[in-house]
A and B are shown apart, each in its own frame.
Chain A
Amino acid sequence: NAGVTQTPKFQVLKTGQSMTLQCAQDMNHEYMSWYRQDPGMGLRLIHYSVGAGITDQGEVPNGYNVSRSTTEDFPLRLLSAAPSQTSVYFCASSKGRLDEQFFGPGTRLTVL
């Protein structure tokens, strides 16, 4: 099993550009989520999904969109990048929402 994979590892954007961060898992997990990690603030939940076709907002959803068309994939879209979105983004999955969380290696995003 590859576990949770994320691409790209690094990305630099200019303000106003859009992009999609990819996340995939091969463990047949129903629950997937996106977090951002900023110095001194811990990890904060952006969006989550409890299964294919079902998504919902976390605590910091503004500026991000998600969709879940398959069990395996959960992409995160930045609609119009802002410097405040400079962060490290982690995707996580678990069998159910309350179960042990498994994290991907992260995407380091810089918005200039």
Chain B
Amino acid sequence: KQEVTQIPAALSVPEGENLVLNCSFTDSAIYNLQWFRQDPGKGLTSLLLIQSSQREQTSGRLNASLDKSSGRSTLYIAASQPGDSATYLCAVRGEGGFQKLVFGTGTRLLVSP
């Protein structure tokens, strides 16, 4: 059974810092991995989707990497801003069978001015 873990559960940094959020998964047979952002009381906003054949994806100040064989992905946020404060979720989609999306429980990020 696929399990997705995100560590740390919460992170607090001053504005301007570069930071890395971690996502690990137990079954490396994945089709893709998606990073989301969730603001309090809101829905999920898709940030990046990485296919299993890709090593990384970039969007603006965000860079997501994928090491499928070791079961890890990282989300790198450059020059963090208070507007980046949110909960970040990763989700993996398995290759076989039902191919459902399995979510981690998220990292809550606070960027202080």
Residues of A that sit less than 8 Å from B by CB? 4, 6, 40-43, 45, 58-59, 90, 92, 97-106, 108
Q: Dominant SS at the B interface? A: strand
A9→B106 CA distance, assembly (Å): 23
Question: Could you list 10 A-B pairs, sorted by A, with CB under 8 Å?
Answer: A42-B4, A42-B105, A43-B91, A58-B100, A98-B93, A103-B43, A105-B42, A105-B43, A106-B41, A106-B43
Interface residues on chain B, number (Cβ under 8 Å): 23
Task: Give the interface of B toward A (CB within 8 A).
Answer: 4, 31-32, 34, 36, 41-46, 49, 89, 91, 93, 99-106
With contacts A98-B32, A101-B34 known, is A90 near B103, CB below 8 A?
no
Determine which of A102, A104, A106 lies in contact with B46 in the assembled complex, contact meaning CB atoms within 8 Å: A102
Collect the chain A residues with CB atoms within 8 Å of residue B49's CB. Answer: 99-100
Number of contacts between A and B (CB, 8 Å)?
Answer: 49
Shortest CB-to-CB span from A16 to chain B, Å, is: 28
Q: Are B105 and A100 in contact (CB under 8 A)?
A: no
Known: A43-B89, A103-B36, A108-B41. 13 other contacts (CB 8 A): A6-B43, A41-B105, A42-B104, A42-B106, A45-B101, A58-B100, A90-B43, A92-B44, A98-B31, A101-B101, A103-B43, A104-B43, A106-B41
With a CB–CB cut-off of 8 A, which chain B residues contact A45?
100-101
Q: Which residues of B are found within 8 Å of A102, using beta-carbon distances?
A: 46
Q: Which residue of B lies closest to A44 (CB)?
A: B103
Q: Are B46 and A97 in contact (CB under 8 A)?
A: no
Q: Nearest-CB distance from B96 to chain A (Å)?
A: 12
Give min CB distance, B24 to chain A, whole Å. Answer: 14
A99: chain B residues at CB < 8 Å are 49
